[in-house]
């Protein structure tokens, strides 16, 4: 029981990139494999579950994700609780989207494609889905990443670009 409580605190700690507010009528999402630019995600990388721009769940990679009983990454996504603030959970029937946080690079990737083994790619309260994920970072596609996760050919094209800068990471 003590180890379980420690795991929950670590998995939902404030140090994680993807966090959600609570768990209400959860949907269980099982990731059977996850690649970013052709390589397996590494320990410390994260997968976020989104309904539009709302993060409704997230999981931290501990070891290589694989389609075995002990190798899958189990992520809980929370339904919108009618008693809570709007925008804290998923809406049943909406499309599921995924994001990958590369902890070593400090970059969030929004170009993630899911291939479902079970499930339809839509949120289902108390349901479950099994899928593999393939993400392509902007850099993997020959572009750069804006702070909002968008991929562009030149930092000047970022919606948050600093005028006169050609590399948003080098401008203050």
Three-state DSSP state, 11: helix
pTM of the model: 0.79
Q: Residue 10: what pLDDT?
A: 35
Dihedral (CA of 81, 82, 85, 88) sign = positive
pLDDT above 90 covers what percent of the chain?
A: 56
Q: Residue 11: what pLDDT?
A: 40
Q: Residue 64: what pLDDT?
A: 96
Q: E strands of the chain, at which residues?
A: 27-36, 39-40, 46-51, 54-60, 73-77, 97-102, 107-109, 112-118, 128-135, 144-145, 151-152
* Separation between Cα atoms, residue 9 and residue 100, nearest integer Å: 21
Q: Residue 168: what pLDDT?
A: 46
Spans in the chain with pLDDT lower than 70:
1-14, 21, 159-172
């Amino acid at each position: 029981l003590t180890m379980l409580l420690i795991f929950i605190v670590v998995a939902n700690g404030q140090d994680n990139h993807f966090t959600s507010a609570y768990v209400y009528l959860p949907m269980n999402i099982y990731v059977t494999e996850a690649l970013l630019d052709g390589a397996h995600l590494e320990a410390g990388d994260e997968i976020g579950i989104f309904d539009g721009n709302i993060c409704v769940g997230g999981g931290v990679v501990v070891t290589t994700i694989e389609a075995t009983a002990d190798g899958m990454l189990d992520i809980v996504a929370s339904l919108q609780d009618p008693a809570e603030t709007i925008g804290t959970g998923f809406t049943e029937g909406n499309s599921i989207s995924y994001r990958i946080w590369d902890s070593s690079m400090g970059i969030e990737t929004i170009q993630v494609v899911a291939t479902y083994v079970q499930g339809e790619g839509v949120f289902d309260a108390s349901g479950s889905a099994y899928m593999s994920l393939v993400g392509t970072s902007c850099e993997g596609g020959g572009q750069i990443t804006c702070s909002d996760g968008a991929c562009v050919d030149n930092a000047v094209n970022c919606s948050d670009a600093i005028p006169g800068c050609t590399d948003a990471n080098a401008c203050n």
